[in-house]
Amino acid sequence: MSLPAGASPDRTRARYQTLLEVAEAISAHRQLSTLFDDLARLLHPLVAFDFIGLTLIDERERVVRLHVLSTDREVINTRKDGTPFDQTPTIQALAERRPYYMPDVSAENRYPLVRDMLIANGIRATCVVPLYTAQRDIGGLHFGSQEAEGYSPEDIEFMEQVARPVAVAVDNALNFEAVEGYREQLARERDRLRTLLEINNALVQCLETRQLFDAISGSLRRAFGLDYASILLYDSDIDALRLKMVDFPEGMGVIHEDAVLSIEDTLAGYVFRTREARHFTLEEARAISPSTADVIGREGLRSLCCVPLISRGAVLGTLNTGSRQENFFSAGDVPFFTQVAGQVAIALDNALSYQRIEALNERLEEEKIYLEDEIRTDNRFEEIVGNSRALKAILKQVETVAPTDSTVLIYGETGTGKELLARAIHDLSARKQGTFVKLNCAAIPTGLLESEMFGHEKGAFTGAIAQRIGRFELAHRGTMFLDEVGEIPLELQTKLLRVLQEREFERLGSSRTIRTDARLVAATNRDLAQMVEEREFRADLYYRLNVFPITVPPLRDRREDIPLLVRYFVQQYARRMNRKITTIPAESMNALARYHWPGNIRELQNFIERAVILSTGATLQIPVRELKRGGVSGSVVTLETAERDAIVRALRDAGGKVAGPEGAAAKLGMKRTTLQAKMRKLGIDAKSV
């Protein structure tokens, strides 16, 4: 190594001795930050400078970035995004492999960006020494002086000597940081793969959406240190996103489950529509959706990432994560969350399908129980019996209105067969594959009527130990028959009106709106118009019900149908009781046809059942004298008395025994269960006869 021209041997020897110490000191550094700190401290004794900096080249973006190592004043006018290759002397120094010296910065014309920055910081002379190794170009070491002509050729030559160990040290630090960065990247990828594995395990094990979400949010929280996670699902009934699940332990309650978010003016709605994952700062969120930015800002969130949940080509909703830290998410995080969202979407699709199957099974079970109850009721007949002109006119109206899906209101006295007409309307409509659900509004206590109609959630009131599906929900896509609709209390009429107008309701104890597509057929034996005048029935509900009124004539106005009905009932009861009745005396049939039947078909049905019970041979025996008495209460009491007397006599003959070959049921030609039901109805105790 030759001495610089004009340099004294002692000074040169001291410089190189110090340079050797610098080389040894900086060679141990593995991080650029600590290397930069020591360079500024160690170079001061070697070269006089008022400013020292180091530039590193970025080949990918083709810019040079300045790192200020030491200066006595605040540095201004630097380019944070770097200086382009063609506008910095660092590239020229590297290309020529020699220093680029500006003895008078103000006279520099080739690199105006660098010149203006130096002048703004009071630098009048500068020297850029290239930093390179055998493997690559690194950048430049910049010395600056506040005096023009601040450096001599000896100084510049020594700067070159300084630059050599500095280049090696910077190269080592860059290589170390690259390796460390690679290791960090590998560790990050390992953690993310572990998170994906945890989520996959959760997807396999969890069919219930809440359990699934808890597992997913827990894995993401551990992997990323998230403050917030949620899932929004699309609700087609309201064309909006509904917040189904939230994991936000430190939230203030502004963001809460079951909240409804518009698709048009929210961040999640934006991602849902575009089907593209995005991460947002608070400022970016405000530019797209001020309302969303206001909500997340009030909750203290500063970064948000929203990813669409896509399964089988359909967007189910969005997966949303957030942090209270600024710029928490990077572009590199989005592909990972997209991968997570893809798995979550498949699992949610499966879970929702499972829930739909469970709900369908539950509904089928409810319908099964309901239909079994229906089978056990006294309405066992599917046909409307009769051939009178009055009945034909009614059936013509039924044929007309059945296909229209309009609301029907059936008027008629008790026992005229209003429910049979309602069933006929259902069977002739497009809803015949759906369920026909009936509810007698007069038979249910007022306090329980709303629950019967609309259902209730567990704990909605005392005694509500489980969730119950209401009749309107059972009748979805079928027909709902409300018998004795005039008995509905005024406070419940409002909710029924809403069902007719909006086709939606809520279960008791729930805020979730349920939509129903049930056709309503109502029946009453009361004058609803008169009730409206007396303010006992809502006028708006009456007009909604009275779209297509049908009035069923009483049995006394269709007497020609009585013989047909008598034969029908005799056949039914005789078959059920294992009797063989082949003859109905003419005088008996005439008496039945002349009777005015105040209880209508139901009274005739009950009378024939009793007559079959009392008949011991092939000829129907009816108590004609009881019909001649004619009073409503008198005829009913007499018929019940006759039936009671026959059962009591049979029990006495059988010694109080009901079942068995010699029991009362066998003597009466009845099934044991039928006789026991009659005994309960009439209050007969076998032990007391």
Distance CA 471, CA 454 (A): 6
pLDDT at 20 over 60: yes
pLDDT at 371: 55
pLDDT at 306 over 60: yes
pLDDT at 217 over 60: yes
pLDDT at 381: 36
Say how many Å lie between the first and final Cα of the chain, rounded.
Answer: 136
Tokens of 445: 């206590």
Query: Is 306 in a helix, a strand, or coil?
Result: strand
Q: How high does pLDDT run on average in the chain? A: 83
CB of 207 within 8 A of CB of 350? Answer: yes
Alpha helix segments (H runs only) across 402-439 = 418-427
- CATH number corresponding to 559-688: 1.10.8.60
Distance CA 29, CA 175 (A): 11
The reply to whether 206-354 shares the fold of 9-179 is yes
Report in angstroms the alpha-carbon separations of 610 from 565, 569, 642: 15, 11, 8
Distance CA 676, CA 608 (A): 19
pLDDT at 673: 76
pLDDT at 542 over 90: yes
Q: Which are the contacts of 284, defined by CB distance < 8 A and separation ≥ 6?
A: none
CA dihedral 423, 428, 429, 432 (to 10 degrees): 60
pLDDT at 373: 47
Average pLDDT over residues 277-293: 89
DSSP 8-state assignment for residue 447: H
| Strongest mean pLDDT among 213-217, 255-259, 365-369, 684-688 | 255-259
- CATH number corresponding to 9-179: 3.30.450.40
| Strongest mean pLDDT among 132-136, 251-255, 637-641 | 132-136
Quick one: fold of 383-553? Rossmann fold (3.40.50)
Alpha helix segments (H runs only) across 104-261 = 112-120, 153-205, 209-224
Distance CA 65, CA 67 (A): 7
pLDDT at 294 over 70: yes
In which region does residue 316 sit, left (phi positive, over 0), alpha (psi from -120 to 50) or beta (all else)?
alpha
Distance CA 158, CA 166 (A): 13
Distance CA 589, CA 570 (A): 12
pLDDT at 307 over 70: yes
Report in angstroms the alpha-carbon separations of 259 from 264, 493, 511, 629: 15, 29, 11, 68
Over the stretch 144-184, which tens digit does the pLDDT of each residue have?
A: 999 999 999 988 988 898 888 888 888 888 887 766 655 66
DSSP 47-94: S--SEEEEEEEETTTTEEEEEEEEESS---S--TT-EEGGG-HHHHHH
pLDDT at 362: 66
pLDDT at 4: 46
pLDDT at 127: 96
CB of 622 within 8 A of CB of 570? Answer: no
| Strongest mean pLDDT among 77-81, 197-201, 203-207, 409-413 | 409-413
Report in angstroms the alpha-carbon separations of 443 from 440, 452, 485: 5, 11, 11
pLDDT at 637: 42
Is the CATH number of domain 206-354 3.30.450.40? yes
pLDDT at 94 over 90: yes
| Of the listed ranges 121-125, 199-203, 470-474, 487-491, the one predicted with least confidence | 199-203
pLDDT at 448: 85
Distance CA 355, CA 17 (A): 80
Distance CA 334, CA 639 (A): 82
CB of 638 within 8 A of CB of 626? Answer: yes
pLDDT at 188: 59
Percent of the chain with pLDDT strictly greater than 90: 30
pLDDT at 375 over 50: no
Over the stretch 597-646, which tens digit does the pLDDT of each residue have?
A: 988 999 999 999 989 998 888 888 887 777 765 443 334 444 566 677 77
Tokens of 99: 């220093």
Percent of the chain with pLDDT strictly greater than 70: 85
Over the stretch 322-346, which tens digit does the pLDDT of each residue have?
A: 899 988 888 878 887 888 888 778 7
Residue 453's identity, in one-letter code, is M
CB of 133 within 8 A of CB of 167? Answer: yes
The Cβ of residue 144 has, within 10 Å, a number of other Cβ atoms equal to 23
Average pLDDT over residues 528-556: 92
| Of the listed ranges 234-238, 370-374, 679-683, the one predicted with least confidence | 370-374
Distance CA 67, CA 87 (A): 17
pLDDT at 245: 81
Average pLDDT over residues 226-247: 87
- The pTM (predicted TM-score) of the whole model is 0.45
pLDDT at 457 over 50: yes
Residue with the bigger pLDDT between 10 and 492: it is 492
pLDDT at 547 over 90: yes
The alpha carbons of the chain give a radius of gyration, in whole angstroms, of: 47
The domain ranges of the chain are 9-179, 206-354, 383-553, 559-688
Distance CA 360, CA 368 (A): 12
